[in-house]
Amino acid sequence: MKLRKSILSAVGMGSLAALMMFSGSAMAESEAEAVYDAMHPPIVQVKDGKLRGFMEDDTFSFLGIQYATAERFEQPQPVEPWEGVKDAQVFGPACPTNDATEVSSDEFVWPHTYYVHNENCQYLNVWTQSIDEDAKKPVMVFLHGGAYSNGAANETVAYNGKNLSEFGDVVTVTLNHRLNVLGCLNLSAYSEKYENSGNTGMADIVAALQWVQDNIAYFGGDPDNVTIFGQSGGSGKVVTLMHMPEAEGLFHKAIAESSGTASVILPNESDLITQYTLENLGLDESQVDELQTMPYFDLLEAADAAVKRVKEEVGRNVSWRPLQDDDYIMTEYCDFAADIPFIAGTNFSERSSTVFIGDGRKNEWTDEETAANLKEMYGDNAEAIAEEFARLFPEKKLADAYFYAPSYRNNVRSALSSKLKNTNAPVYNYLFAYEANVNGGVTPFHCAELIYVFHNAGLRELKIATGGDQAALDMQDVVARAWVNFAYTGNPSQEGLEWIPCSEQENSTMIFDVNSRCAILDDQNMVDLMTAK
């Protein structure tokens, strides 16, 4: 039998008076006596009806909550109210994507889950420590990666929000939304019903954040203290929201992991993709409505081919992205973004981790092997890079320079500079540099920090992926605490580890590692040497 956490704590104080002091004098007697366990799962009344969740240890979990509904290429609409109780005990479907036919090369260190696809994918998940409407816990809303083409809220083991909620006493939210051709194909020129169809994916996210505003108090959350955080493509979504007038007031702090730029597509590129998609399907403008009912994979194949053709024609990296139309998504930051505290950073290795390059014995290289490998990768710049790396990272082995990710450092520097020009709030930078003690040493790959952000290094699959030692468990305490403190106050500092905001003059950076430190990481010269052609 499990009681609510607040009740357990109060009862431990030894008196009903203490219980009322802890939980608030307005707590009804029936609520104080509430018991939740497998036989008596929690039921919450939200705006449109009742939801039945379940208990995971002392955490209230509500999965697969529908936050909106939508027809293909049309704007999300509110869910119709319902009678009775809806189950919210399993993850909802994710947006369809290209079928995966191979196991990914990073599967061991970044274990995936598998899930149902459906175009009706507007579902979110909530983990919380309280269902007291007056609890006012900080809310942390995660936007998954996968660019704007794939991914899901339950794509990987690491995205489970239960442990972050428990560790930080926060309300954790993850969500699915439309992607690829369903979330980005612009048909607005053909019919009013397709207005803003080039941004239906971002419109879904706005609808989810609006649902949070309307309902999160029922899960103990504070709608006036919402932090959005996302990684890779999710990082782009975080920043893009600060360019969207419709998102004003829906969140109050933002964290962009492994990027920090608003990746968008331009109107001329978007128009060409639509034109070529119709051509590929043998349709003319009068037949555009047929796109709403044709089989998804036929549509996706034609549209992906159109994207590839436009990419070749315009000579830049065109892909499925939101449409920057200076109406729904602005070129510049919206005025409200100036008051949003912001964190952006990268991983040490990103896509050049030991998972992807090297011979798997980096920590066994001799000095001669290290020098030869750096020479092979960087040519005449190898010696200067080695000197710079030793200055910047005296705690690292020189071999680690081979796995540094310079282009990502340039991306995040650009993102930080842009935000610093548009802010009244602090801006923070980080570099996640912790090497997992597994497979000869795994340098931090693209996504690696999320294991620690979600405080999930102790989960079975992730104990295997990280080596499962005390260092990994300690690392998750430091990283998750920084994210949680930021959600509470807008300042990610913690006891014994002050995180100084960066400025245009000084790139103050939190370096997360075995011995984390905040330092001026002036690595631009090394990055320039590494990226020189």
Task: Determine contact, residues 427/506, Cβ cutoff 8 Å.
Answer: no
Task: Determine contact, residues 427/502, Cβ cutoff 8 Å.
Answer: yes
DSSP 87: E
Range of the domain at 1: 1-36
Q: Which of 382, 364, 384 is nearest to 373 (CA)?
A: 382
Specify the 3-state DSSP secondary structure of 441.
coil
Please indicate, yes or no, whether residues 519 and 417 belong to a single structural domain of this protein.
yes
Please indicate, yes or no, whether residues 197 and 313 belong to a single structural domain of this protein.
yes
- When divided into structural domains, the chain yields a total of 3
Which residues share a beta bridge with 452? none
CA 136/CA 228 separation, integer angstroms: 17
What H or E segment, with its residue span, contains residue 139?
strand 137-143
Please indicate, yes or no, whether residues 59 and 191 belong to a single structural domain of this protein.
yes
* Token output for 132: 């007291």
pLDDT given for residue 487 in this prediction? 98
DSSP 94: B
CA 221/CA 225 separation, integer angstroms: 8
Please indicate, yes or no, whether residues 383 and 249 belong to a single structural domain of this protein.
no
Please indicate, yes or no, whether residues 336 and 450 belong to a single structural domain of this protein.
no
Please indicate, yes or no, whether residues 74 and 166 belong to a single structural domain of this protein.
yes
pLDDT given for residue 533 in this prediction? 67
Q: Could you list the beta-strand ranges (E) of 144-293.
A: 171-175, 221-231, 253-257
pLDDT given for residue 311 in this prediction? 95
Quickly tell me which residue has 């942390």 as its tokens.
140
Q: State pTM to two decimals.
A: 0.93
pLDDT given for residue 1 in this prediction? 34
Task: List CB contacts of 273: < 8 A, sequence separation 6 or more.
Answer: 185, 186, 265, 303, 306, 307, 310, 318
Print pLDDT tens along the chain (533 aa): 344 444 333 333 333 333 333 333 333 334 445 789 999 999 999 999 999 999 999 999 999 999 999 999 999 999 999 999 999 999 999 999 988 888 888 999 999 997 899 999 999 999 999 999 999 999 999 999 999 999 999 999 999 999 999 999 999 999 999 999 999 999 999 999 999 999 999 999 999 999 999 999 999 999 999 999 999 999 999 999 999 999 999 999 999 999 778 889 999 999 999 999 999 999 999 999 999 999 999 999 999 999 999 999 998 889 999 999 999 999 999 999 999 999 999 999 999 999 999 999 999 999 999 999 999 999 999 999 999 999 999 999 999 999 999 999 999 999 999 999 989 999 999 999 999 999 999 999 999 999 999 999 999 999 999 999 999 999 999 999 999 999 999 999 999 999 999 999 999 999 999 999 999 999 999 999 999 96
pLDDT given for residue 262 in this prediction? 82
Please indicate, yes or no, whether residues 334 and 361 belong to a single structural domain of this protein.
no
pLDDT given for residue 422 in this prediction? 87
Please indicate, yes or no, whether residues 399 and 332 belong to a single structural domain of this protein.
no
Judge whether 108 lies within some domain: no
* Token output for 365: 């290289």
Backbone angles phi, psi at 343, to 5 degrees: -120, 135
Specify the 3-state DSSP secondary structure of 460.
helix
pLDDT given for residue 18 in this prediction? 34
pLDDT given for residue 33 in this prediction? 55
Q: Could you list the beta-strand ranges (E) of 144-213.
A: 171-175
Please indicate, yes or no, whether residues 127 and 250 belong to a single structural domain of this protein.
yes
At 71, which CATH number?
A: 3.40.50.1820
DSSP string, 482-506: HHHHHHHHS---BTTB--PPP-SS-
Judge whether 109 lies within some domain: no
